[in-house]
Amino acid sequence: MEKIIKVVAAVIENEKNEILCTLRPIGKILGNNWEFPGGKLEKGETEFEGIKREIKEELNCDIEPIEIIGDAYHKYERGTVNIIAIKCKQLSPIKLNEHDACIWLERKNLKSLVWAPADIEIIDKFLK
């Protein structure tokens, strides 16, 4: 049976309707690809608990998960990722702990970046 890796991704929009994009570090899997911040759910964790924990770890930022906007599946060599996109509100400043960079982009400009494949599916399905 194929392994399904459940991953949560924060879609954080600012007051200018720009969306936060984060750059995976070189040397990591999918390094130098852009992504929505987040990560793997831990055993017994809800999607909202997981996204709050992941964003605190990665961005040292408190967020308020608002709603699940959808999910997508993407097959990688190491298994299939089920990425769950969650609309979130930023409650405190961002300090990068795990990413090389972050930028805010308007929806129409999201595709100008080189994204991790699973994140492209989120953009295509929910963020046009």
> How many whole angstroms separate alpha carbon 56 and alpha carbon 51?
8
| CATH for 72 | 3.90.79.10
Which domain does 24 fall in, by range?
A: 4-126
pTM of the model: 0.94
* pLDDT tens digits, 2-40: 789 999 999 999 999 999 999 999 999 899 999 999 999
* pLDDT tens digits, 47-58: 999 999 999 999
> How many whole angstroms separate alpha carbon 37 and alpha carbon 21?
7
Number of domains the chain contains: 1
Which has the closest alpha carbon to 103: 8, 34, 45, 51?
Answer: 34
- The first and second tokens of residue 11, run together, are 């879609």
